[in-house]
Structure 1
Amino acid sequence: GCTARIAYYQKEEHEKGCQHAPCFCPETGCSFSGPTKVLLEHFLVEHDWCHGEKDLRYGKTYRTKTLLGVRGPTVLMGNDGHLFLVNMTMESLGGVISVCCVEPHISGSRFKCRLALSCGEPSYSQTTEFLTSSTNLRDGFPKDCFLFLVPKVLLGDTGTNPTATVCVTLKPQ
């Protein structure tokens, strides 16, 4: 948590904006909470989530070959300490990709995300831009995220396509 020394009468005001306030682990049955940097290590060590970048530069594209729904979300850490989750799950219509910003105080959207998907076989590409949702994950993954649909036909029989490349570019608003 926070190590700032504040007077008791400033406590409530300080807690409203403190960047060391806790965020929560969305995994079922896990009660872990902590600041975003500690939460990052928790995701990687305890849940074996994919680690994308610890020093993601805004405006620069992060590329990953993806297997939808394997090893949980991909975790990205902005070079300013903002934590992002790229969550990939399987639904009845195909794969669904969502991106959210994890921060202790839900402040509305402050980041624009450009998400692109390309597959070699069959030849296919799709790109979109949207504003990310902001969440502290207290209630699990946000339900109000923009959902990027990967058509089922691209995923093959096993629900995965190792030749799919997902590109994520984040920019502050």
Structure 2
Amino acid sequence: MADRERTLSRKRQRLPPLLEESESVTATRMATVGDDSEDVVTEAQSKTQSVKLQSSDVLDCPICFEPLKKPIYQCTNGHLSCSSCCKKMNNRCSFCRSPIGDIRCRAMEKVIEATIVPCPNAKYGCKESTTYGNESSSHEKVCVFARCFCPVQNCNYGGSYTDLKGHANAAHSWKEYGLISFVFDRPLIFGMDINKKKMVVFREEQDGDLVVVQAFKGTEGVSVTVSCIAPLAPGIRKLSCSLAKLNQYTTLRLGLRVKNIQKVSEQMQFEDGFMFIPSYMLSGDHMKMQICIGSDEYKYIHI
């Protein structure tokens, strides 16, 4: 019996510390979806393994098909569900009707936390990554490579901010597409047909910034907005403008911040700054206005 105890004691001494190894591997292991880059293995990462999934569907809720997020639940048979679907299904598994909503699936939660995917704007040049299911994270909202869409009517082009400016310069001539050239801090007069052509597109002569003026006709008058087609990323120039409605005896003038948008919408966003022109200042469908666009977002807002 003593010999057996001594043998077991020597075996225990030869075994590696399981807790330390487990923590080391868990801390450095990462599952990568959709990344074909070669693994660079350092001495500190000699025990890690990069895992590639053939499909990201296994990381989605099988009920709503949205990416799984903490807390993730499982029934007694191992079927998964996101927390919102548990409530929708009255805490009954949609597959086997077993109770669900009390047992957390910690293993899948760890997999989700360790799964890194490229930014959705990677094809436009972004090198950042984000946790799977968090594509609408703070990074994407301010990503400089966020997709921007051409505001010219009947054009479906979408690309990065820089590519969009090059596209507009190459594909849309001034006369054929009605783009109006402008220079910063130089006022110009333009006309709008508030019933037919409710949008005018301006292009800055030097850098190619695209600015859109839209008119939204209501029962009491017309609301006018000014937007720039650009992402919300830090470092992207923000503009302001002086906008005026010119009449023979009356002038209505307002200073506005020019909001950056990625795509023109036909619906007015009332939380944005706009100029309201009452009906008595309108004469027919044609409306003459003046605009002066500045490269500083605060220059004209106090007019």
* TM-score, normalised via structure 1 length: 0.69
1:88 to 2:215 alignment: yes
2:244 is aligned to 116
Distance in structure 2 (CA, Å) of the matches to 1:119 and 1:95: 15
Closer/same/farther in 2, CA of residues 170 and 65 from structure 1, 3 Å limit: same
Tell me which residue corresponds to 1:167.
290
CA 52–31 in structure 1, closer or farther in 2 if over 3 Å, else same: closer
Q: Hey, what's the Cα distance between the residues in 1 that align with 2:170 and 2:195? A: 19
Residue matched to 1:57: 183
C-alpha spacing 1:101/1:142, structure 2 compared with 1 (3 Å):
farther
Query: Number of residues paired by the alignment?
Result: 156
Match of 2:256 in 1: 130
Question: Is residue 230 of structure 2 the alignment partner of residue 103 of structure 1?
Answer: yes
CA RMSD of aligned residues (A): 3.9
Determine the structure 2 residue equivalent to 1:33: 158
In the other structure, the counterpart of 1:74 is: 200
1:134–1:149 Cα change, 3 Å: same
Q: Offset at 1:165? A: 2.4
User: 1:25-52: per-residue Cα shift (whole Å, max 9, x none)?
Assistant: 579x98542343366479968xx86421
Aligned-partner residue type, residue 81 of structure 1: G
Q: Give the 5 Å matches for 1:7-22.
A: 11-12=127-128, 16-18=143-145, 21-22=146-147
- 5+ long unaligned stretches in structure 1: none
Residue among 270, 278, 287 paired with 1:151 = 278
- 1:172 is displaced (CA, Å) by 1.5
Q: CA deviation at 1:153?
A: 1.7
1:3 Cα shift? 9.9
Q: Relative CO higher for 1 or 2, CA cutoff 8 Å, sep ≥ 6? A: 1
Q: Give me the whole-angstrom Cα distance separating, in 2, the residues matched to 1:42 and 1:147.
A: 31
Task: Find out whether 1:24 has 2:149 as its counterpart.
Answer: yes
Q: Identity of counterpart residues, as a percentage?
A: 16
How has the CA–CA distance of structure 1 residues 127 and 43 changed in structure 2, closer, same or farther, with 3 Å as cutoff? farther
Return the structure number with greater strand share: 1
